[in-house]
Structure 1
């Protein structure tokens, strides 16, 4: 096995003659890739819930738009509520295998059962059936997602390697979305009797097959770094520390803004492509966009090593602000130019997500220094919560404006209504890109500050070791002994 992280927190690969093979965490690239694998079914679960399940249950399952809309709204608020609860739970309880992997394993059967029930129902179904299994699915999905992100943050203390790890995870996420979009294409080509049911079922089987395989590989071959046992902090003091944490406030604000921007373009994309740009193959634009993002994530990771994470995030936000207005230049029906524009937009699509997650790992270390406790799961739950709130706010902002300008989906709209949709699609994300760059430009935790935080934590760990602790070592992969 690769060497573990040194107890004093220093880079164990400093004397390695082949530093490209063994990272600061002691993890080779193939192990980092193994860690990232579960992100593919995580993404494959999220996309159908947003795009395919609502119309399937409203139409094929006979529940109607109003009932399905209400259920999905209720479960989305439930998901936001459970984020911090499951984040704290993920932080609090450890086992012999570490702090995160057992939660990931526990989430798998919850996910498998709920995916089977949601994606392969037997008609007719009741509203309570859909509500119950959506709630269960969100519990498993949230526990899996938060634990996986937190595990990635704790795999290494190194500033730049955290970007590499989260970049690998982002590539797996995007690849998972691409593959789950392609699955229905092959199913539809087979011309089944019930296309809608076969399409949804195929996506369910994608998750059912891929999730246990990828989780098994990740938890078996990738070790955890040991962290200090959680210390009980009175809740008033814990909340006070969070409120005083200025880097945390900045990241959450920027992520909330990013969620609003992403939510606007997601909610309005089909309206823009079909009703304004009059493009016949809108799904092709999605695939082009995702593929471009997948290709350019490694480049963004390298740029973050050169410029620093917060500056790279600021530059990428400015790039988004500068490129999205190119949509104004697309003539109706011009698919070729539209593809070129979405390739350009896709260059940046993966940068924000992996950089936010990498930065949040440093913020969690900063909180550990200030508050004496490691609350990575809580911090990542707050990050997912702000992004979801941003996406929810986006619909609440965009749809009423469309109503004001008189835009009606699926009909022939007036030129002023179409211009109104274009302005809503382009201007808020462009403005938000500038705001995010402003918020993150002077972010206080750079590589030097992170190194100092790790030095402080390493000294504390050394004191704990002297008192009989075992901090800083590596927890072995499941079924193996530590190196």
Structure 2
């Protein structure tokens, strides 16, 4: 049995009050709103980067599909380097202002400058121009998001409050999407120029204005906990402890599978709305309903996690995605009301799954610290981000290969392929979420186990045992 398995499964008989985990003061909603503020502009950045910028550079900017596709593929590979590097650096190099906050401040001008050059391109626009500024933009994005995620896990050691923290983060991310979607809709009513160029430019200006304000609110209002002394840990021991951590493996695999389902649905949605439901002109409105429903579900998911536990609530969220997608086959052609109802059901996982996966990762970080003596929250969250991005990219690729195999033509008549398209839309999330349910049903860290971890961590810190953990991964059991 691994060290992590022993720590989770064995119960201590030590009931001494000294070193016991003390109840934490409830974090105020205002504080959590301030903490989540940067999520709004970051979400507003993510949507156009995925949906509008590639088409903008392949079309009006004249770079072509092949060149733009290659650049964005390289950018994702760049993430594979910068994500774990950022996690490592933010874990290991504290400053007088904290480990996480300085990176948010440093990343803000980097994101704003690169957003200006990507969203409001300056001539001449070449493949080298786009490659350079996209790489800078992705670097700034990583410098902000990985420390911010890690900081969220460290705001509270309480099992339930961690769900509140990530609930506010997820709500901020969801709010950013309709805000940035609303900009083109408003401008379209008053603009007579090149709409595609104006749309992209307006989104960029929105991010450039909002991000510094949001980060300023965050770093001014929220303080970090003081960093503790960290023992040295060899590279071999660091990798070994990650490999032995069964809850970490389970969580990361489940999160990657869940992300695959979401990416596949996103890739298929417009095609389904157009060719299956006959509602292509309402696709944006349906997407807006989807995100608004997701925002409404976030507080319900947080409350449910307090009653049923986080991993069981996650299983319940996945059950929605097993039951709801097959309803796609029952939506009558042109029935907006039925399609909107389905989008409300699908919206539960927009925020619910993200809140719970990230909150559970904070509990896994406690287990990792108890095993190694090091607080490696940044590394763990970067690992989660990396696997989710990779699985999402693979899911989109596999989805489009499947569409090609079934003879689907985005520009042609797809009446014969519509049924297969609907089946694909229904089947992929069903299979993926059944797999997540199977993985997470018996997840070993619940509320009681996490309280035990916190008690053991506080005792280890008070006794100075954290200095011995790197030398002996088999932490003594009380």
Instruction: Give deviations 1:306-351, integer Å, cap 9, x for gaps.
Output: 1000010011101211111111111222112111111121133211
Confirm or deny that 1:320 pairs with 2:321.
yes
CA shift for structure 1 position 7: 9.4
Local SS of the residue matching 1:193: coil
Instruction: Give deviations 1:232-266, integer Å, cap 9, x for gaps.
Output: 21101110000000000001100110111011001
Structure 2 runs not aligned, ≥5 long:
1-17, 468-478
Distance 2:180 2:308 in 1: 34
Distance 2:118 2:42 in 1: 15
Partner in structure 2 of residue 127 of structure 1 = 127
Distance 2:452 2:99 in 1: 24
Partner in structure 2 of residue 447 of structure 1 = 447
Q: How does 1:260-275 map to 2 (within 5 A)?
A: 260-275=260-275
Local SS of the residue matching 2:97: coil
Deviates more, 1:75-84 or 1:257-266: 75-84
Local SS of the residue matching 1:349: helix
CA shift for structure 1 position 192: 3.7
Distance 1:301 1:159 in 2: 11
Contact 2:153 2:359 in 1 (8 A): yes
Q: How does 1:78-97 map to 2 (within 5 A)?
A: 78-97=78-97
Given the two structures, how large is their TM-score scaled by the length of structure 1?
Answer: 0.90
CA shift for structure 1 position 276: 2.4
Instruction: Give the number of aligned pairs.
Output: 449
CA shift for structure 1 position 464: 4.8
Local SS of the residue matching 1:295: helix
Distance 2:134 2:298 in 1: 32
Partner in structure 2 of residue 277 of structure 1 = 277
Contact 2:21 2:451 in 1 (8 A): no
Contact 1:61 1:124 in 2 (8 A): no
Contact 1:167 1:301 in 2 (8 A): yes
Partner in structure 2 of residue 72 of structure 1 = 72
Partner in structure 2 of residue 349 of structure 1 = 350
CA shift for structure 1 position 275: 2.3
Distance 1:228 1:326 in 2: 51
Contact 1:309 1:446 in 2 (8 A): yes
Deviates more, 1:283-292 or 1:346-355: 346-355
Instruction: Give deviations 1:367-389, integer Å, cap 9, x for gaps.
Output: 00011111000000011111111
Moved over 3 A (4+): 6-9
Local SS of the residue matching 1:121: coil
Given the two structures, how large is their TM-score scaled by the length of structure 2?
Answer: 0.91
Contact 1:275 1:411 in 2 (8 A): no
Contact 1:150 1:377 in 2 (8 A): yes
Partner in structure 1 of residue 310 of structure 2 = 309
Partner in structure 1 of residue 23 of structure 2 = 11
Partner in structure 1 of residue 11 of structure 2 = none
Partner in structure 1 of residue 202 of structure 2 = 202
CA shift for structure 1 position 81: 2.7
Distance 2:460 2:48 in 1: 46
Structure 1 runs not aligned, ≥5 long:
1-5, 14-22, 468-483
Partner in structure 2 of residue 362 of structure 1 = 363
Distance 2:275 2:326 in 1: 18
CA shift for structure 1 position 124: 3.7
Distance 2:335 2:33 in 1: 38
